[in-house]
Amino acid sequence: MLFGYWHRVRLLQKLILIVIVFLILPVLIVGYYLFSTSLPLAQKESREMLEKVAYQLNENIEYRIIGYQNILMQMSLDPGITTALTQHYQSLQEEVTALQQINAAVNRIRSYFPMKKIQFYKTNASLHEDGGVVLNMEQADSQPWHAAMGGSNKQFYWYFERKGDDAQPSLHLSKWLVDYLTNEKFGIVHVEITNRALFDQLSNPLEFKKGWIVVADAQGRVLTNVMDKQASDNIKALPYLQPVYASDQGWYSTTIDGKQSMVVYETNRLGWKIVTVVSQEELWQKLQLVKNAAVAVSVLFVVLTIAVLASYGLRIKHRLNSLVRSMRRVRDGDIGLTVKVYGKDELADVEGEFNTMSLRLKQSLGDIAEARSAAETEKLKLLQAQINPHFLYNTLALVKSMAMDVGSAEISRTVDALAKFFRLALNRGGDILPFREELEHVRAYLNIHESRFPGRLAVEIDVDEEALSCEIIKITLQPIIENALLHAFVHTGGRGRLRIRGCLQDGMLCITIADNGSGMTPEQAKDLLENANGAKERAGFGIYNVNERLKRHYRHSYSLTIESKPGAGTTIRLLIPQQAGPTAPAHEYGREELPHGHQSIRR
């Protein structure tokens, strides 16, 4: 009887029954079993997800902490600020000018970085305090954050302060101002940062209604709290969060308000705890929704697939095969090929879109070729466009004239060097120039450096006459020399010797730049050439950038090597390939006076 009934059932009904009995039901049963046994795996994946969230939040906070520490370091090393705080004043006008300079620097920094206060506490008795930014050192003794600075010897000092019931506690960051030549402290730079400045971008990335994030200091005091309105001001007072302080990072399950929850935590460099808490019940609810949606989509997909195969299988197969063969012909170069469109169903739309695509592709190939030519022409025009430097030169000429009016020859020479520096850097459309002009650019930079730090640097330039006409990429030597000035002599107060030599050998321009500075390890030298961030102890993006530009222009025909040992200085050698003839006629070089300690070009 059952077989008789089966023979009377229509084909479509048979397919539906077969799919239900042999496909959908087994899939649902197996899926339910797998879901029931996959809860431990889901818990592990949820924990790993929360660990990544906590790690990312920690990284974001670390980034801001480092940013504010870099601002303090920049202010402590600012020559204008340090000079204004340490020099001896003999007139009120000098003091007013110095205070205006400090306040201008502070306003400039606060316009870019949100800070509640920026203050300088100084020991210089000849400089009066302004009551706001510049204060006497005695004023710091009454501040609670100052006591934390006396108990340890650190580079930066962080202090947490909550006033009353203020929901936004303040964070204080301080640093000693030290004369690195005498190693004597001459003041303190202190900033007050609001809670919002560090944590205003923090939110609940998990978007769980029952999940929350809290950041607390090493004593458990809450710095910021997201999505949890019941937490106290100290998380150590909460029994379910006390294990957070047992280790630097980790996770555990606990019961919060009668519900099972997962806690994941991280610790940053200041000892702050970044804690994420998510209700496991909500995790399982979301997993249950995913399971139900997957089952529903699977059943619908199977039913629709069987129906389409049963009713249109052969016809669609023929049309698809024809369309695939046409696509392959277009792929092989038969551009503009079209196929016959059957009916008005979805596959007919595909066939029509294929025809449209094929015809437009044929038309587009011609348009692309034409557009590419126009784009290359436009790109060349854009590359040839330069910043009009006339306004800059006129302004520098005005500054020079004003300096001469007041009888300041030093300012006049510095303005001349700056004008030459910008003229050589901006006033040429191409990237290739004679080595002579590259040396002029370097000499202008050294003149400016000599004006800032007179008598500290001795420079020897020894270049053969025939090397002056060789080709070199613009602004190749200046970043290397700047890197040496910034890092090679940091332990000698900027004092040292720099040698620049150049000659032409076997069709190669040979350039050697050597210093007698602190040197570096082979690993640091390798990082300077291969990593954009440079070595850890001495930044080297300038050398990395020069190496990348040379690599793009000369490919494998150039050479840039670094020879250095700690305490034995650094030597950088460049080999630049040259064409058969000189790039420019030789003319007299070195007519202007070199800075103190320089030697003239060897003729």
The residue out of 384, 412, 441 marking a domain boundary is 384
The residue out of 159, 177, 199 marking a domain boundary is 199
Q: How far is CA 217 from CA 251, 265, 272, in A?
A: 18, 13, 4
Helix spans in 533-587 (H): 541-554
- Tell me 234's DSSP state: B
**Residue pair 115/75 in contact by the 8 Å Cβ criterion:** no
pLDDT band at 464 (very low <50, low <70, confident <90, very high): very high
**Residue pair 424/441 in contact by the 8 Å Cβ criterion:** yes
Whether residues 434 and 356 share a domain: the answer is: no
Whether residues 114 and 179 share a domain: the answer is: yes
> What is the pLDDT, as a whole number, of residue 14?
62
pLDDT band at 309 (very low <50, low <70, confident <90, very high): low
- Tell me 22's DSSP state: I
CA–CA distance, 603 with 583 (Å, rounded to integer): 18
The residue range of the domain holding 377 is: 335-384
> What is the pLDDT, as a whole number, of residue 55?
83
Report pLDDT digits (tens) over 221-267: 888 776 554 556 788 888 888 888 888 888 888 888 777 888 889 89
Residues 6+ apart with CB under 8 A from 74: none
CA–CA distance, 94 with 84 (Å, rounded to integer): 9
The more confident residue out of 583 and 499 is: 499
Report pLDDT digits (tens) over 328-386: 887 777 777 788 887 777 777 888 887 888 888 878 777 776 766 654 554 444 444 44
The more confident residue out of 120 and 14 is: 120
Residue 460 confidence (pLDDT) above 50 = yes
> What is the pLDDT, as a whole number, of residue 11?
45
Report pLDDT digits (tens) over 181-211: 888 888 999 998 877 777 776 655 555 556 7
Identify how many contiguous H helices and E strands the chain contains and give both numbers.
17, 17
Residue 71 confidence (pLDDT) above 60 = yes
* Burial class of residue 121 in the structure, from the number of CB atoms within 10 Å of its CB (0-12 exposed, 13-18 middle, 19+ buried): buried
Average pLDDT, the chain: 76
Neighbour count for residue 117 (Cβ, 10 Å)? 15
pLDDT band at 584 (very low <50, low <70, confident <90, very high): very low
> What is the pLDDT, as a whole number, of residue 408?
66
The residue out of 167, 182, 199 marking a domain boundary is 199
> What is the pLDDT, as a whole number, of residue 382?
40
Whether residues 97 and 163 share a domain: the answer is: yes
% of the chain residues with pLDDT over 90: 9
Residue 562 lies in a domain: yes
Whether residues 347 and 479 share a domain: the answer is: no
Whether residues 380 and 438 share a domain: the answer is: no
Averaged pLDDT for residues 11-17: 58
Residue 184 lies in a domain: yes
Averaged pLDDT for residues 32-43: 68
Whether residues 437 and 492 share a domain: the answer is: yes
Residue 407 lies in a domain: no
Whether residues 377 and 464 share a domain: the answer is: no
> What is the pLDDT, as a whole number, of residue 548?
86
Whether residues 469 and 351 share a domain: the answer is: no
Whether residues 497 and 573 share a domain: the answer is: yes
Helix spans in 78-168 (H): 79-86, 92-110, 137-140, 144-150
**Residue pair 295/8 in contact by the 8 Å Cβ criterion:** no
CATH code at position 85? 3.30.450.20
Cα 147 → chain centroid: 35
Residue 515 confidence (pLDDT) above 70 = yes
- Tell me 13's DSSP state: H
Residue 294 lies in a domain: no
pTM, two decimal places: 0.41
% of the chain residues with pLDDT over 70: 70
Neighbour count for residue 337 (Cβ, 10 Å)? 17
CA–CA distance, 351 with 349 (Å, rounded to integer): 5
CA-angle at 484, arms to 482 and 487, nearest 5°? 105
Averaged pLDDT for residues 412-437: 69
Averaged pLDDT for residues 440-444: 86
Residue 528 lies in a domain: yes
Residue 274 confidence (pLDDT) above 70 = yes
> What is the pLDDT, as a whole number, of residue 13?
60
Averaged pLDDT for residues 474-484: 88
Whether residues 446 and 378 share a domain: the answer is: no
| Nearest residue to 250 (alpha-carbon basis) of 67, 54, 18 | 54
Residue 320 lies in a domain: no
Report pLDDT digits (tens) over 371-415: 666 545 544 444 444 444 544 555 565 566 666 666 666 676 676
> What is the pLDDT, as a whole number, of residue 153?
76
Type of residue numbered 197: A
> What is the pLDDT, as a whole number, of residue 429?
52
Residue 306 confidence (pLDDT) above 80 = no
> What is the pLDDT, as a whole number, of residue 598?
38
- Tell me 53's DSSP state: H
Phi, psi of 96 (to 5 degrees): -60, -40
CATH code at position 538? 3.30.565.10
Whether residues 483 and 349 share a domain: the answer is: no
Residue 21 lies in a domain: no
Residue 146 confidence (pLDDT) above 50 = yes
User: What is the number of domains present in the chain?
Assistant: 3
Residue 599 confidence (pLDDT) above 60 = no
CA-angle at 318, arms to 316 and 319, nearest 5°? 65
**DSSP letters along 200-223, please?**
TT---TT--TT-EEEEE-TT-BEE
Whether residues 104 and 178 share a domain: the answer is: yes
Residue 214 confidence (pLDDT) above 70 = yes
Residue 153 lies in a domain: yes
Residue 116 confidence (pLDDT) above 80 = yes
